[in-house]
Amino acid sequence: MIVESSFKPAWWMRNPHLQTILPRFYRKRHSIETIDEQLELPDGDFVELCWTDKPDPNSTKPLVVLFHGLGGSIDSFYARGMMEVIAKNGWTGVLMHFRGCGKKTNRHPQAYHSGETTDARYLIELLRQRYPNSPLSAIGFSLGGNMLSKYLGENGDDSLLDAAVVISAPLRLSPCAKRLSRNFSRVYQKFLLDMLKKGLIKKLGFLKEKFPIGITPHTVKKIKTLKEFDDLVTGPLHGFDSAEDYYAKCSGIQFLKGVTTPTLIIHAADDPFMTHQVHPVPEDLSPAIRYELSSGGGHVGFIHGKHPLKPKFWLEQRAPAFIESVLSKKLSKELSKTKS
């Protein structure tokens, strides 16, 4: 189902670049205490988790998993903000850092990408085992949203999730890569690329001769675009023939028809990370998906409110509200079955 979003940009923040950039400054001092956990993976690597609290195994509190965007972490403004709201709701939040995005360099050469769902699956299965009585939902931002879309479509009825929210996801990766190499969007590309290159150079120093592809820090420093990075690094490191092969196989839009978990997808038409090609049409969506497109909001921005000194973060209202509505409907159905 495709509907017009209820979101209206703040009158003082209608520009998409302001929506994309300024929230980081509004949330500069925003903080929430979290509990860290290093989760060992079946292949010998690990990911780092951040919890709002560690519930009792018999807890029935809703549990929400967060997947961050490219180069993101628990320190990303959108992650901390959503974790705080989840905690205030009396729920438990847990953010999974993709490999190498936490405090430590991961052990293996492989890191993460828009279509890598194996670690997410392992975590979700583990959470279902640890907390069998807790409703389990997920929220994915940007790259994490594309990954979550792919995960939901791949697994269908076996997703193990009760609800999901996908925010500002690059559901068609190739057009997004092209968009980020044009006009002002190149500013975002440079910011993301600098993070990727810095992390890769650190990884090369950590693994040295164990790194499986022939690339040097000097070569890394010369990379100018995200597509070039995906051609030289992401593709060969993760089993793809090229950047375009990676984009074609991992774009989330092709998996949406297989989604059976109640899912909300949120996009802004003015998102400077993407083009209209990213927006799905009715034929792309399964009946389980509610797609909301707003005219403004930028990339993971969605700021509204009347006063510039008191911004309101709409995503932190909309995502939990959707999850709560899904869980309430599920509970009502279960109660009806019990009475009958």
Identify whether 134 is part of a domain.
yes
Lookup: tokens for 28: 């500069």
CA dist., res. 133 & res. 295, Å (int): 39
Q: Mind telling me the catalytic residues?
A: 142, 271, 299
Q: 215 and 103, same structural domain?
A: no
Q: Is residue 337 part of a domain?
A: no
Q: Is residue 223 part of a domain?
A: yes
105 plus 182 within the same structural domain: no
pLDDT at 309: 87
Q: What is the structure's pLDDT at 208?
A: 84
Residue whose C-alpha is closest to residue 281's, from 310, 299, 257: 257
Residues 145 and 289 occupy one common structural domain: yes
Which of 213, 231, 250 delimits the end of a domain? 250
CATH code where residue 159 lies: 3.40.50.1820
Share of the chain above pLDDT 90, in %: 92
pLDDT value, residue 337: 73
Averaged pLDDT for residues 260-284: 97
Q: Longest Cα pair distance anywhere in the chain, in angstroms?
A: 69
Bigger pLDDT: 249 or 338?
249
Q: Which of 201, 234, 250 is the last residue of a domain?
A: 250
Split at pLDDT 50, 70, 90, the class of 29 is low
Is 71 in contact with 101 (CB distance < 8 Å)?
yes
For the cut 70, the answer to whether the pLDDT of residue 9 exceeds it is yes
Look at residue 270 and tell me if it is in a domain.
yes
Per-residue pLDDT, 27: 72
Same domain, 54 and 185: no
| Paired strand residues for 290 | 264
Domain shared by 225 and 292, yes or no: no
pTM of the model: 0.97
> Which pLDDT value is given to residue 30?
56
**What per-residue confidence (pLDDT) applies to 210?**
85
What is the model's pLDDT at position 141? 98
pLDDT for the residue numbered 277? 96
Closest CA to 299 of 30, 74, 22, 25: 22
pLDDT at 340 (0 to 100): 62
Residues 15 and 132 in one domain: yes
Q: How many domains does the chain have?
A: 2
Structural domain ending residue among the three candidates 250, 274, 300 = 250
Mean pLDDT of 37-59: 97
Q: How many CB atoms lie within 10 A of CB 104?
A: 14
Mean pLDDT value across residues 40-50 = 98
In a shared domain, residues 108 and 163: yes
| Band (28; pLDDT cuts 50, 70, 90) | low
Does residue 64 lie in a domain region?
Answer: yes
- Between the alpha carbon of residue 328 and those of residues 94, 323, 332, the distances in Å are 21, 9, 6
Report the SS3 class of residue 4: strand
In a domain, 334, yes or no: no
In a domain, 18, yes or no: yes
Q: What is the mean pLDDT of residues 262-270?
A: 98
Residue-wise pLDDT tens digits, 312-324: 999 999 999 999 9
What tokens appear for 244 in the block?
């375009």
In a domain, 265, yes or no: yes
Instruction: Return the minimum-mean-pLDDT range out of 187-196, 226-235, 254-263, 325-334.
Output: 325-334
**Average of per-residue pLDDT across 117-146:** 98
Residue 244 structural domain = 173-250
Q: How much is the pLDDT for 25?
A: 87
Residue 117 is predicted with a pLDDT of 98
Question: Do residues 261 and 323 lie in contact, with contact meaning Cβ atoms separated by under 8 Å?
Answer: no
What confidence tens digit (pLDDT) does each residue in 328-339 have?
998 888 777 776
- On whether both 11 and 57 belong to a single domain, the answer is yes
Same domain, 27 and 166: yes
In this structure, are 6 and 108 located in the same domain? Answer: yes
The tens digit of pLDDT for each residue in 89-129 reads 999 999 999 999 999 999 999 999 999 999 999 999 999 99
Indicate if 96 and 108 belong to the same structural domain: yes
DSSP letters, 233-294, are IIHHHTT-SSHHHHHHHH-GGGGGGG--S-EEEEEETT-TT--GGGS--GGG--TTEEEEEE
Residues 194 and 67 in one domain: no
Average pLDDT, the chain: 95
